[in-house]
Structure formats: structure tokens, C-alpha cells
Amino acid sequence: AQSVTQLDSHVSVSEGTPVLLRCNYSSSYSPSLFWYVQHPNKGLQLLLKYTSAATLVKGINGFEAEFKKSETSFHLTKPSAHMSDAAEYFCVVILYNAGNMLTFGGGTRLMVKP
Amino acid sequence: NAGVTQTPKFRILKIGQSMTLQCTQDMNHNYMYWYRQDPGMGLKLIYYSVGAGITDKGEVPNGYNVSRSTTEDFPLRLELAAPSQTSVYFCASTLPFAGENTEAFFGQGTRLTVV
């Protein structure tokens, strides 16, 4: 069974418009949740993380994510997209009722149109 | 702290050759992982380890072997390279518990081409 699901494989926005990348997880316990970004031919860069402190998490480059336990979601948002935000985004989870394994979502490719 | 260090960064192998991808972390993390990422795709788990002397298969283990003799090192071995193993390989490490300092650390990746 899929433990973490990114609901959109591709998202396209215009520069200056809001970004929403969706992530849902399945776990009986509160997980640790992360968003990573990967630019073409680059490694993985941590955008932000949730580790049971504040449910609204601010990250780098203006990104935010809100942990909603009732909805088992951790969606990534940004008020205004920039061309440099075009990249692949991964929702990553450590599930503490599944052997504490690091689990990746399938990724969402964000495209930003001028 | 250096974090997670992978070597080499790039490698070209001929079919049938063998090689070892090295991964070292200096954060005393129990959990270590090897992933592969094919072009335009997500990351698939090859093998993982929850501590020295303990390893287990992930989603795509065929054609690979691992060992974990120390907490720091988690090498990935390709015995008979095949074109299907052309990919970018990432090593990662984590602590096995939640907390403010919980984070997944990744190496910079190894781009492997088998010709």
C-alpha cells in the first residue's frame, strides 16, 4: 500500500501565480514530513520539514507547508511562483509505524510559464 | 560534519564490469539507504540498513549487493553491470526516531552509465 502519495505528477502555473503541490500520507502515528526539491541534473535540496512542532512550516525560497493530521496531508504552497521554481518536488515521509523507513512520494514536476 | 558523502560522482562502466559505489556518513545515523533515479522518474529504494550488520532489500534489489560493517559506511556493489543499471544513485541516512533534528540527509548522487 502506498504510504505517501503526491496527487499530481505535473503542475503548471504562470509566473506570479500561487503554487500548490499536494501530498497525502497514511500512518497511524504522527510522521516526520519533508519536502525536497530537485533541479535538473542536481541533487536533492531540503525545502522544509515538519517534526511535530508547529504545524505551519516555513521553508526556503518562500515555500510553506501545513501539516493537517485530520486530513493526513502536508501540501506545499508558495504565494507567487518564480521561473526558478521550475523543478521536481518530492514529498518524503518517515513513518514511525512502518519501521521508521524513509518513504518517497512519486514526485511532482512543477512547470512555470512566463 | 561532512554529512553524507558519495563517491564517485560520475562513472562509465562496460557491460559485465563490476564496481562499488561508496557512501559514508559522519552523523552516527543508524539508518542508511540506497536509491536509484531513472531519467524523469522518482526514486526507487534498492537496499537499506537499520544498523551495522543489518541490511534488507528494497523495491529494486536485483543486480546489487550491500554490506554494513560499520555505522559510517554503506557501500553498494554492482557485480555484472547491465545497461538497465544506467541511472543516478543516491545514498541517504536518517535517525530512527522523531525529533526537532530529524532530517533525511542525501549524498550528491553518482551518475552511472553502462555501455
pLDDT in tens, B86-114: 999 999 998 776 666 677 889 999 999 99
Under a CB-based contact definition with an 8 Å cutoff, are residues A83 and A95 in contact? Answer: no
Q: A84: burial class by Cβ within 10 Å (0-12, 13-18, 19+)?
A: exposed
Q: Which amino acid is at B115?
A: V
CA distance A32 to chain B (A): 6
Contacts of B40 (CB under 8 A, 6+ apart): none
Q: Which CATH superfamily is domain A4-113 in?
A: Immunoglobulins (2.60.40.10)
- Residues A76, B110, A96: CA angle, nearest 5 degrees: 45
Enumerate the domain spans of chain A.
Answer: 4-113
The H or E element spanning position B12 is strand B10-13
Residues within 8 A of B (CB atoms), A 13-72 only: 30-32, 34, 36, 43-44, 46, 49, 51-53
- Is residue A94 over pLDDT 90? no
* pLDDT digit string, tens, across residues A9-44: 999 999 999 999 999 998 777 788 999 999 988 889
Q: Which residue ranges form the domains of chain B, and what is each CATH number?
A: 4-114 (2.60.40.10)
Assign A84 to helix, strand or coil.
Answer: helix
The answer to whether B48 contacts A49, with C-beta atoms less than 8 Å apart, is no
The span from the CA of A102 to the CA of B29, in Å, is 13
